[in-house]
Structure 1
């Protein structure tokens, strides 16, 4: 069955340091899980034309090598959380240890070493002014060897979240996509904001924590984690998804999809042109995240490229064409320690102790 699918391969290295090669079946599976991370393997198999055993085996391989996994995430806007993009400069010998500590926190994601490993970048989703005060004004400033901290509050997300990588959306046909659509509709950053009519409970918190570790956890495992029955978990997950409090995302390694260079672009834009620039950035196929922020720069975009040459071409063409952008600061990711979801392992760099 597998041999009937043309092989279009991309080589990469998983978290275990082993080479990983993705073919057309892997790509189709990745696309399918972006559409519905909880879709039964039997349904995915029927849509992409392989056996259920093949789909299950391929997903175990993707997850086991750290290439891709499904995670269940709480919608921070619905929960009243504030998102911050935090940059920390430290002495080079301390950067990895600080990044590791940030990666272990439940309220962080996208923890990265940038600028050749001398700077740390992360996203923090904090529940109150007290939480922000604790992390940004107490914990980080008191951390030894931290030199400087910059925190920018995310005011508006123009693009990002599930299905934000357009390059990954071409492996299934529109008919196949329709077969896998769970019917909840895409996450809308303009509409799916503000408090929900559903108040999360302690059982929901435990449910979120388990789904952050493994978005495809079975109902028995979820029931055990939440301290509820399986029937309660099924009903509650449907309700949370309808209310946009819970969504599923494929947490994929950009390098596994051929994007070995990830860059953050921090731009300055006059307020009168902010919406227009964000709308144009959102249409760029390279851009996976674009938002308006507070701070000296008021737009941040994250974009993925095959290499630095492609990044240069992007800056000198697409970004150069945005004439209302008055300045651009570009940093590339040196090492990624945490993406979305709970951290499972933190591989140390070669030679680290």
Structure 2
């Protein structure tokens, strides 16, 4: 396997373009970036085949179709052993091995609260080496990893790419996916840029029907396409979680302000004393302290209670990663 230790400017621009519009045609991408469509496609294929970048899909957004929780696990010194046991669970979206007051941080999503309770008590609670579990129930997902972007394109270029993104109709009420929709989703989980023909062959459907289903899923806001890359080559290789305490009266206004910071990947409002928890990607380890100082100076009501640096991510957004952060395989999340 080719070892891609860095991305050049064209690579980064291609990835940023597909973060904005994961299913943009190569003609559209090439026109915006000012490169030949074949060049853009070849660059993406090289990064994808190396496991450096990928596009996956899930019922969206995480936490809006059912309960979600951030779960801390004290593993008695066996974090990788426990991670290996959980990595293929559809309820477990993300697994981070961390420093600080917890060994593992899991993002867990389920269809119903009863399912979440069963998973916490009967799946996690019965694992060998689990010494303690602390669960933080999410009351609101402010932002998640699918919304994080590189900073390689100009505002004008980003706007041109958004012109081809189907607008989301917020009036559509959530509902169960049909069998046809689930079949299409299964193909998009593996490759969010799979062609209509490939999706149709996999699902046993007519290509026109598949095209309509994908369009409707995106317009209804029930489908998230997530373009990701290895943290090590992103320019922000340091991954950390922060546990914040914010006055309840200010949480709904402060949380979106946190989510707008370029370093922020996830912001969750939590039912608990640490009522805002966020994940960040940073350029250097020293930026952990710098970000803390910036938040405390600009948002006087925010108290940073704790923080953990991620030593290794073994799963992110339903994608299993190797020790270097490359994609190994996709695990469909519970829809």
Normalised by the length of structure 2, the TM-score is 0.88
1:184 is aligned to 2:166:
yes
**Deviation at residue 40 of structure 1 after TM alignment:** 1.3
Pick closer, same or farther for the CA change 1:78–1:276 going to 2, 3 Å. closer
Partner of 2:333: none
Identify which of 290, 309, 320 aligns with 2:267. 290
- The equivalent residue for 1:101 is 85
What's the C-alpha RMSD, in Å, of the aligned pairs? Answer: 2.6
Q: Residues 314, 132 of structure 1: CA spacing in aligned structure 2 closer, same or farther, 3 A cutoff?
A: same
- The number of residues matched between the two structures is 324
Match of 2:95?
111
User: 1:59-107 CA deviation, whole Å, 9 max, x = no partner?
Assistant: 1222122222122221146973211111111122x31121123221223
CA distance in 2, matches of 1:131, 1:301: 24
Give the secondary-structure state (helix, strand or coil) at the position aligned to 2:201.
helix
- Deviation (angstroms), 1:320: 4.2
What residue number does 1:158 align with? 142
| 1:64-103 equivalent positions in 2, closer than 5 A | 64-76=49-61, 80-92=65-77, 94-103=78-87
8 Å contact kept, 2:61–2:224: no
**Alignment partner, residue 190 of structure 2:** 213
Using the TM superposition, give the Cα deviation of residue 117 of structure 1 relative to its aligned residue in structure 2, in angstroms.
11
In 2, distance between residues paired with 1:311 and 1:28?
27
Among 179, 182, 186, the residue aligned to 1:202:
179
| Residue deviations 1:232-282 (CA, integer Å, cap 9, x gap) | 110111111111111222122222111121110011122112123213312
Instruction: State the distance in 2 between where 1:341 and 1:321 align.
Output: 34
1:322 and 2:299 matched: yes
Q: For 2:142 and 2:170, how far apart are their aligned partners in 1? A: 12
- In structure 1, distance between residues paired with 2:13 and 2:251: 36
- Residue 126 (1) aligns with residue 110 (2): yes
The one of 112, 122, 139 equivalent to 1:138 is 122
CA–CA distance in 2 between the matches of 1:20 and 1:348? 10
User: Which sits farther off after the overlay, 329-338 or 39-48?
Assistant: 39-48
Q: Does structure 1 residue 307 correspond to structure 2 residue 284?
A: yes
Tell me, yes or no, if structure 1 residue 243 matches structure 2 residue 220: yes
Per-residue CA deviation, residues 208-252 of structure 1 (Å, 9 max, x unaligned), is 222122101122221233232211110111111111111222122
Q: Report the 3-state secondary structure (helix = DSSP H, G, I; strand = E; otherwise coil) of the residue aligned with 1:145.
A: coil
**d(CA) in 1 for partners of 2:256 and 2:123?**
36
Shift of 1:322: 2.4
Counterpart secondary structure, 1:297: coil
Q: TM-score normalized by structure 1? A: 0.83
Please list every run of 5 or more consecutive structure 2 residues that lacks an aligned counterpart in the other structure: 326-335
SS state at 2:185 partner: helix
Structure 1: segments with no counterpart, 5+ residues: 1-15
Out of 34, 37, 40, the residue aligned to residue 22 of structure 2 is 37
- Mapped partners of 1:50, 1:179: distance in 2: 15
Q: Distance in 2 between matches of 1:76 and 1:260?
A: 25
Counterpart of 1:26 in structure 2 is: 11
Structure-2 change in CA distance of 1:19 and 1:26 (3 Å): closer
Corresponding residue of 1:175? 156
Deviation (angstroms), 1:341: 3.8
Change (3 A) 1:348 1:146: farther
Contact residue 59 and residue 65 of structure 2 kept, 8 A:
no
Distance 1:295 1:118 in 2: 17
Picking from 56, 60, 85, the partner of 2:41 is: 56
